[in-house]
Amino acid sequence: MSSLIPYLTFDNTKEALAYYEAVFGATDIQRLPVDANQASNFGLAETEAENATMHAEFKIAGTTVLASDAFGGNSKINDSIALLIDYDLNNEADTREVEALYERVSQHESIEVAMPLAEQFWGGKMAVFTDKYNVKWMLHGQH
């Protein structure tokens, strides 16, 4: 079965990983730095390679996100795209994990909450917030 996995680029993915771990409670963080032998392929000096990220992966509320450095490309994220974490309100563990994520991030000074997590007219729960990298996150709980 095919799946769609978000792949973000940052000016400094190593720094972004630390942010998502500290603020979002990201888990299963894996980071592949650029090898010194491959630095020139990425337009880097050998001394810059260790801090550059060729590929990374992490989980937020059980959802996989992939990332890498932009390597001079565009790392600007616009607000026309959002990452939606859809969770099952009938699954107690799922609900606890996602709602704890919201409580954690909504209190952080780098987060701009556009819609607090609340019951919606369609019977589900929804929240929308943007992080310091301009990534818009949506949490959606449904029965």
One digit per residue, the tens of pLDDT, for the chain of length 143 reads 888 899 999 999 999 999 999 999 999 999 999 988 888 888 888 888 888 999 999 999 999 999 999 987 777 777 788 999 999 999 999 999 999 999 999 999 999 999 999 999 988 999 999 999 999 999 999 98
Together in a domain, 137 and 89 = yes
At position 50, the amino acid (one-letter code) is: E
Q: What is the CATH number of the domain that holds 38?
A: 3.10.180.10
**Sign of CA pseudo-dihedral 72, 79, 81, 129:** positive
pTM, 2 dp: 0.91
In a domain, 28, yes or no: yes
Q: How many domains does the chain have?
A: 2
Is the residue at 2 inside a domain?
no
**Two tokens at 51?**
């801090």
Show the domain range for 115. Answer: 82-142
Assess if residue 1 is contained within a domain. no
Q: How far apart are CA 131 and CA 55, in angstroms?
A: 21
> What is the amino acid identity at position 73?
G
What does the alpha-carbon distance between residue 34 and residue 113 come to, in Å, rounded to a whole number? 35
Are residues 31 and 61 part of one domain?
Answer: yes
Residue 65 and residue 86 in one domain: no
Q: Which residues are 115's β-sheet partners?
A: 128
